[in-house]
Amino acid sequence: MTNKAIIVEKLSKTFNGFKAVDEISFEVGRGEIFGFLGANGAGKTTAMKMLCGLSMPSSGKATVAGFDIYQENESIKKNIGYMSQKFSLYEDLTIRENIRFYAGIYGIRPDIIKTKTVQLLTQLSLEKEADQLVGQLPLGWKQKLAFSVAIFHDPQIVFLDEPTGGVDPITRRDFWNMIYDATAKGITVFVTTHYMDEAEYCDRVSIMVDGQIDALDTPGNLKRLYQAESMDQVFLQIARKAKRTE
Amino acid sequence: MEKYHSEQASIVVSSVSKSYTSGKTVVKALDNISFEVEKGSLFGLIGPDGAGKTTLFRILTSLLLFDKGKALVDGFDVISGYKEIRKRIGYMPGRFSLYADLTVQENLNFFASIFETTIDENYDLIKGIYAQIEPFKNRRAGKLSGGMKQKLALSCALIHRPSVLFLDEPTTGVDAVSRKEFWDMLKGLKNEGITILVSTPYMDEANLCDKVALIQSGSILNIDTPHNITHTFSKTIYRIKGRDMQALLLQARQWDFAEQVYPFGEYHHAVIRQQSTELHFPEGVEASRIHPGIEDVFIDLMRNHDQ
Amino acid sequence: MKQFYHFILKEFYHIFRDRKTLLILLGMPMAQIIIFGFALSNEVKNAHITIVNQSNGAASVQLVQKIESSKYFELYNQSTQTADIEKMFKRGAIKVALVIPSDFDKTILAQNNARLQIIADATDPNVATTLTAYLSIIVADFQKEINQPNTIPYTIDLETRMMYNPQLKGAYNFVPGVMAMVLLLVCTMMTSLTVVREKELGNMEILLASPVNPLIIILAKAVPYLLLSIINIITILLLSYFVLDVPINGSLTLLFAVSILFILVSLSLGLLISSVTDSQKSAMFISLIVMFLPTVMFSGFIFPIENMPLPLRTISNIIPAKWYFIIVKSVMIKGLGFNLIWKEVLILTGMMLFFFAMAIKKFKIRLS
């Protein structure tokens, strides 16, 4: 067992001659919050799909949670959680049904599901709403619930794709609180966001430009390096270099 | 068609309420909303998803009926004067609503034709925006990147030179660079005399508007210029920083002079209780008083509104 | 007018860029004609028959030969034991059995009064009825033949003629049926789907917020499918004329004119469905369950309407395809002119106007 949750070496993905991801290399430590930033179309989503075992790389090496992404993508799927802004929960199922469904996918024993569901509902103060349809919840609650469901099976790593898009400022902060709680339990967090203040909450941040990782360091070091006051300025300086019009 | 004469206001919303039923519960999407947008100004509706922004946009673009109140756009009532309004407005809905299987140029041509105009007629207005995507005019709209789709959608909404432009969350899910470009484009349009109503969940974009309405759960929390909103905010805010930010947050929440403490990028922001005179920050905590931002005001208004 | 032109142009782009759907739309009528023409025929051919001939005289052998030579029957087994029949039925080896009793030859010549027994497997009643009818015709024919030299007093010489379709070809019935079905599928379902898709994808939101007249949106959706349907009619007619030997006895112009009328009815119906639904799923559901199934059931193309109880016969009157089916059969097969079908044409025209008016009336100028 290494102390790295993710190791990526020269990972590439080419679509019809177009290098969506171009030889990226990085490592994510266990329990780290890793911010995966980049402009639209820089290749973030493609890279994330490869790491989640959803898409085969064209070349390069990578292990996620200790498993090879070519050979063991089924093992990877068991050991990661995934949540995105676009797809998270079934709107036409109740909160309880959603939890049971997702827990069931990961083969958790029914009695454990039961006790953990009670815990989760108490934590989110959703006891009263447990039998309401998810579609009727406000967006902020949905996102918090979706995150809890994504880490319900205690994965080693959780991938979050723009989890706070459009969420109000208070809920956004509650959400990050939940992320901190998850890392305290030893879960590694891999997150993308368009809110640059959230980049500050990450232990380390990578910024992708045109399929390559252009910068990777702690927010503090990046600000010093680019002589910027905020991550927003760092991002603008780096992302403006993009030549890709795609 | 009756036209209401209003010297300055391009959009007048007075006491508009709208509720709908979802399952068994009645949801108040808009609760007694009133505001005015000056001609030729850039007005921002700032608030999270689900605050009622889209409902308000649909009412103002004559697409939705409402329960109570009155709304005028460019002098016409949005219900009885819907035909007139539809000739005068440009609308860019929250999700990409152009034809993905049509090319860039075909889309633009189509929208020009439904407003009975041509691309050439108003080319000068969209030139700055359209020129950036013109090299890809034969590409299908569905194959464009997010930023380019947005530019195309904006070009299509502008092709008939509308007097009022409605942009529902144009920058959601868009990266910081494209967002900045987009706001620059809006500034250019404002200079052309077009009134713009734009909504966004990003608090930092409020400062780019002439006037903003902070909206949450169907109610307007505050309306003013961004400058006035932050400068009339009566509470004192300190930003604090320590070695272990997570520990500092928990610790700071115990301070009796702090009403609220919440993370804010690199720092935490501490809202100081009004009666507090002496502030004792512990050793090793770097603290300095700052001007509140829109997001600070929003958080405060939200907390008070919920209570 | 320029608006309308650009709208239609756009609809054609949608259709031509969705190659798979286009292929299905144009290929469907061909597939249907071929499937109905060669696989799903309800004609009975080469049915297995067993003949238990206990008489074995000259007359009975002649009768057996006559049955054998008919294309409707194939002799499966010949035996003299009636007990074998049930076994063969149970094995499913035969559809029908003919028992010629031992006194057949004797009685037919001496007393002019012979008996035959037909036993049919009636698990499929339609087939059983058809086969017994065929057998009866052969027997009657046979009777006439052997009676030729003599003239028997007081016999009725029944001469049956199958008008318009002497060979009793199923194609004469199903080609009009397939035409109704294909036109309905293409026009009703596809039009309703394309309008509703604009609602689902949010395009409608922009269109509604523009000064476009709803009438233009609606009409422009219908035009491409009208053209596509005309191509489909031509394909069906060519295939049925050249491959299935179905004649076109009446006026081709009239046939096209009524087909276009039916297309307009179907299009209006599709537009009506799209005006009252908000999702492709429900548009599809309504088109299939509410329109397509009743068309198959109540148009008379598979199940004869005459055999239905009164309530169902009444329902069949509101199914546009029923009237189109009658018209096509009259014009194409019987060769009738407009003076004999004007009533049906009038009904279809009324339906079209009603559906179209409703579609316009129900079209929402706002969201929800």
List per-residue pLDDT tens for chain C, 368 residues long.
788 999 999 999 999 999 998 998 899 888 888 887 776 666 677 888 888 888 888 888 888 888 888 888 888 877 777 888 888 888 888 888 888 888 888 887 776 677 888 888 888 887 888 888 888 888 888 887 877 666 665 666 667 677 777 766 777 878 888 888 888 888 899 899 999 999 998 899 999 999 988 888 888 999 999 999 999 999 999 998 998 888 889 999 999 999 999 999 999 999 999 999 989 999 999 988 878 888 888 888 778 888 888 888 888 899 999 999 999 999 988 888 899 899 999 999 999 999 999 999 998 888 87
What CA–CA distance (Å, rounded) separates B83 from A157? 54
Report pLDDT for A1: 53
The residues pairing with A61 across neighbouring beta strands, listed in sequence order, are: A9
Residue C162 token pair = 């199958």
Inter-chain contact B173–A168, Cβ cutoff 8 Å? no
Number of folded domains that form chain C: 2
Of B61, B99, B113, the CB nearest to C209: B61
> Crossing angle, helix B123-130 and helix B146-158, to 10 degrees?
180
What CA–CA distance (Å, rounded) separates A227 from A211? 24
The residues pairing with C297 across neighbouring beta strands, listed in sequence order, are: none
**pLDDT tens column, A27-37:** 999 999 999 99
Residue B72 token pair = 């005028």
Do C232 and C353 share a domain, yes or no? yes
Report pLDDT for B4: 58
Report pLDDT for B104: 96
In angstroms, the Cα distances linking B222 to A236, B232, C319 are: 30, 11, 59
What CA–CA distance (Å, rounded) separates A98 from A146? 9
Query: Per residue in C171-200, is it b (16+ CB within 10 Å) or e — as a string?
Result: bbbbbbbbbbbbbbbbbbbbbbbbbbbbbe
Inter-chain contact B86–C210, Cβ cutoff 8 Å? yes
Whether B303 is covered by a domain: the verdict is no
Of B193, B223, B253, the one marking the end of a domain is: B223
Residues of B within 8 A of C366 (CB-CB) are 62-65, 82
Report pLDDT for C114: 79
Inter-chain contact B265–A139, Cβ cutoff 8 Å? no
CB atoms within 10 A of CB C320: 26
Of C96, C115, C147, the one marking the end of a domain is: C147
Do B133 and B19 share a domain, yes or no? yes
At position B39, the amino acid (one-letter code) is K
CB C131 within 8 A of CB C47: yes
Bridge pairing between strands A59-64 and A4-15: antiparallel
What CA–CA distance (Å, rounded) separates C99 from C180? 44
What CA–CA distance (Å, rounded) separates C292 from C187? 11
Inter-chain contact B116–C3, Cβ cutoff 8 Å? yes
CB atoms within 10 A of CB B23: 10
Residue B204 Cα to chain centre, angstroms: 11
What CA–CA distance (Å, rounded) separates B101 from B118? 21
- Please tell me whether residue C155 adopts helix, strand or coil conformation: coil
CB B124 within 8 A of CB B117: no
Inter-chain contact B48–A240, Cβ cutoff 8 Å? no
CA A230, A235, A236, A237 torsion-angle sign: positive
Inter-chain contact B263–A168, Cβ cutoff 8 Å? no
Instruction: Kindly tell me whether chain A and chain C come into contact, counting contact as 3+ Cβ pairs under 8 Å.
Output: no
What is the ipTM, given to two decimal places?
A: 0.86
Do C83 and C176 share a domain, yes or no? no
Q: Which residue reads 């904006």 in tokens?
A: B154
CB B134 within 8 A of CB B29: no
Do C175 and C247 share a domain, yes or no? yes
Do B22 and B70 share a domain, yes or no? yes
Residue B149 token pair = 């789709």
Number of folded domains that form chain B: 2
Whether C106 is covered by a domain: the verdict is yes
Mutate to test the interface with C, among B67, B97, B159 (most CBs of C within 10 A): B97
Integer-rounded Cα Rg, in Å, for chain C is 27
Residue C224 token pair = 């491409």
Do C142 and C206 share a domain, yes or no? no
| pLDDT higher than 80, residue A245 | no
Inter-chain contact B265–A235, Cβ cutoff 8 Å? no
Q: Does B95 touch chain C (CB under 8 A)?
A: yes
- Please tell me whether residue A26 adopts helix, strand or coil conformation: strand
Whether B297 is covered by a domain: the verdict is no
Among B11, B9, B19, B154, which Cα is nearest to B96's?
B154
CB B89 within 8 A of CB B115: no
**pLDDT tens column, A117-175:** 999 999 999 999 899 989 888 888 899 999 999 999 999 999 999 999 888 999 999 99
Inter-chain contact B23–A197, Cβ cutoff 8 Å? no
CB B45 within 8 A of CB B29: no
Of B23, B145, B263, the CB nearest to A133: B23
| pLDDT higher than 70, residue B2 | no
Closest residue in C to B96 (Cα) is: C202
The residues pairing with C118 across neighbouring beta strands, listed in sequence order, are: C98
What CA–CA distance (Å, rounded) separates A41 from A122? 40
Do B257 and B122 share a domain, yes or no? no
Inter-chain contact A39–B216, Cβ cutoff 8 Å? no
The DSSP string of chain B is ------SSEEEEEEEEEEEEEETTEEEEEEEEEEEEEETT-EEEEE--TTSSHHHHHHHHTT----SEEEEEETTEETTTTHHHHHHHEEEE-SS--S-TTSBHHHHHHHHHHHTT--TTTTHHHHHHHHTTTGGGTTSBGGGS-HHHHHHHHHHHHHTT--SEEEESSTTTT--HHHHHHHHHHHHHHHHTT-EEEEEES-GGGGGGSSEEEEEETTEEEEEE-HHHHHHS--SEEEEEE-SSHHHHHHHHTT-TTEEEEEEETTEEEEEEPTT-----PPTT-EEEEE---HHHHHHHHHHHHH-
Residues of C within 8 A of B73 (CB-CB) are none
CATH number for the domain spanning B241: value is: 3.30.70
Averaged pLDDT score across all residues of chain B: 91
Range of the domain at B60: 9-223
The DSSP string of C302-325 is SS-GGGS-HHHHHHHTT-HHHHHH
Whether C143 is covered by a domain: the verdict is yes
Of C5, C203, C205, the CB nearest to B99: C203
> B190's torsion region: left (phi>0), alpha (psi -120 to 50) or beta?
alpha
Do B139 and B205 share a domain, yes or no? yes
**pLDDT tens column, C320-333:** 999 999 999 999 88
Among B35, B18, B41, which Cα is nearest to B72's?
B35
CATH number for the domain spanning C88: value is: 3.40.1710.10
Whether C158 is covered by a domain: the verdict is no
Closest residue in B to A220 (Cα) is: B266
Residues of A within 8 A of B298 (CB-CB) are 168-169
Do C250 and C108 share a domain, yes or no? no
Among C361, C214, C365, C198, which Cα is nearest to C283's?
C198
Chain A interface, Cβ < 8 Å to B = 38-41, 85, 133, 135-136, 138-140, 162, 165-171, 173, 176, 180, 194-198, 200-201, 219-220, 223, 230-232, 235-236, 239-240, 242, 245-246
CATH number for the domain spanning B160: value is: 3.40.50.300
Closest residue in A to B149 (Cα) is: A246
Range of the domain at C323: 25-40+169-362
Of B198, B223, B248, the one marking the end of a domain is: B223
Whether B267 is covered by a domain: the verdict is yes
Do C128 and C179 share a domain, yes or no? no
Among A142, A193, A149, which Cα is nearest to A40's?
A193
Do C137 and C190 share a domain, yes or no? no
Q: Does B96 touch chain C (CB under 8 A)?
A: yes
At position A72, the amino acid (one-letter code) is E
**pLDDT tens column, C10-69:** 999 999 999 998 998 899 888 888 887 776 666 677 888 888 888 888 888 888 888 888
Instruction: Kindly tell me whether chain B and chain A come into contact, counting contact as 3+ Cβ pairs under 8 Å.
Output: yes
Chain B interface, Cβ < 8 Å to A = 22-23, 25, 47-51, 135-136, 145-148, 169, 172-180, 201-204, 216, 246, 262-266, 295, 298-299, 302-303
Integer-rounded Cα Rg, in Å, for chain B is 22
Strand order in the sheet with A188-192: A80-84, A157-161, A188-192, A33-38, A204-209, A212-217
